[in-house]
Structure 1
Amino acid sequence: MPRCSITRVLGLLPLTWLCLVGTWLFLPFPEVPSVHRDAYIEQTLRRGGALTTIHPYGDFYKGTVTGAHEASCEDGCGGLVLDWHLVADTTTDALVLRLGDARLNLTDAALRSAGADPHTPYYLSDRIRTRVRHGTTDDAINMPWFRWTDQVLVGDVLHGTMDKEIDVRVYSHTSGTVEIWKEVSLWRGFQGPAAIRDADRMVGLLASFDNVSLQNLKRSSTVDLVVGGIKGELPSTTWPIRHIICGPLFVPTFYLPLPVFYLAQEPMSLFILCVVAALVVLGLWVRAGTPEIGLWLAGLPVVRVCCRGRAKRARRRGVWGPSGPVQDEEEEAGLLGGGHKEGPSMFVPLPSKPSKSRARVLDKY
């Protein structure tokens, strides 16, 4: 059974750190294939999971009304991180979409559209303001070969308080279909579904949900829900692993080795540390009465724990004396010819270990 000692545990720490850093640097960035994107999004939301999409900061605000001044931001602004989460709310018997910190009632929008006035056969909500996550790409631990989406998420994890506000609207013009839009100029003096152009959809539409149930019972079910093309880029499929490293394991991965890196970059600091360590060892040696330096160093607890001779232990277990296995190192040295007697050939062959299958010779008499 393997032994567990402090030295072995301490010896695993550098290896663990190297594994974490190597994973952070060289873990690949596979992405969801475009042919499976819609199925992946729909399956994630149907199961009640959280879907994350990343939007370039400046591109997201282009064409909007309230955030038009934000569109001038350059690439250094990073991106907006939108979290989508479908919740079947049994208390209100409704299908609710959580977008950022807002709760959008899809069932209520579909019902209002189905029972709308024939002169205005659609439903358009008021402006809804929600806060979403935001991340930059200029963090030092982001490597140039990282995917842009993962760089933004790293910036969000490290600076989670940098949230941004966006304005959205819930729009429904067909029975069972609900769309999530940005706050674009289209909604000012809206003239009806015929006024929506393809260019408006390219700029303002964020997501579409079809087959939203209108039944009085179990309206919150997501079994038949069809999720349309949700805009934005998806993170890499290996992002959850990097999230753990830059989240809970951020301090042991990137902060604890900083003194070592600092000493490696500062030769004078490393020299001073070596001088201090040498003075400490010298003081302990003088306090011990200045014995022979080699034997004294070999007797230090740290040296004995870290540098025990495994070969000697293995050899000692295989040596047998007249009365059994040799336990004492001095006895072992004497049996192997290392005694104090002088002479060219003072080694006497040892009797082999008696076999249990036959009696001793002396037992016959």
Structure 2
Amino acid sequence: MTFTLKPKYLALWATILLYACNPSVNEAQELDPVYGQELAKLYKSKGVKEVFIEEEQSNNKTVTRTKQLVSYQLLNKSGLVTRLETAFGDKISRRVDTEYDTQGKLVVTTMYDLAANQTATSGREGIVWRPASRKRMIASGSEAAGKYTWDATKEEWWQTSTIRTWEKNDTTYEETRDLHPHYLGPSWEVTRTYAVGSSNQIQREDQLSFSPKGMGESDYSYTKVENGKITEAGDVKFEPMLFAYTQQHPEARQQTVSKHGYSTVMDKLARQYTGELEPNKTFTCNAKGHLVKKISYGRETTYQRHASGLLVASKQVYSANVGILTYYYYNDKGLLVKEVSRSLRGEPGETFYYRYTYYGK
């Protein structure tokens, strides 16, 4: 059986990799449905330094994997993850380091692979890492903002793209340009982030791509925030406006025949209209603001909570009588120490164990 990271740890990994720099639109609820609060603040208040997560698997009431380490996190004193090591397959084999500025804003993320001839282990002892890639959001010293790969021969970073960030008319732009383009010529990407709607509840993110031939495929997404909580997220569609637009602008009809022309016309609509929101995720909170239900791509998860907000049990339903029920247990500090999952039919599944070290001890 191959180990797969549980969704919340995949979300933590993905958020670091995607550099979710805007805290008002990141899906913190997904990263931490357990505590009902921001995880970094909780870890800071408890003085947590390290988190060790071990997994045990069962199948048909038989233990198929004894307890072994599947994730390691090192935190700074602000509770932010500065190192994340994870198991892919059944051994620790991936690592990502993160650095922040004094305001807690992500500055640089560095990916590591196992060193040459290094064999993944079931623990962390003896692992030798080699740098693989880096994304720097803010320039530091002689290192400009951009993406880098590690040159093992010269033992230095080789810049592959530049990154530029700026704000204009309440919109934040991030542009990434290739320094070493492929045979088609230089390419670049631009991300636009801004609020729309009368009360700015909708946070839009437009991801655009370009090549010498013109605009490539683009992606338009949104997050809806109410009372400081994310209630909805999904895609923004402009196809319904396309017919009316081409009726008013016949010259655009021919333009939409080509892929690049179609993308250009769609982006004109994206800059003029709110678009039709197609949610793929919805979040429901109780009166205290704690997440009690999430629907993600049609899959429903409900959360049963203690009066304090701590998660007691969760139920994830895939289809009729198919799903996972998970129970959560805590130490005297209120930190998660074990989660036990079983199928809705009662078959045992995964058990995760959590260990912590603390600053000052």
TM-score when scaled to structure 1?
0.19
Higher helix share: 1
TM-score when scaled to structure 2?
0.20
Structure whose alpha-carbon radius of gyration is higher: 1
Higher strand share: 2
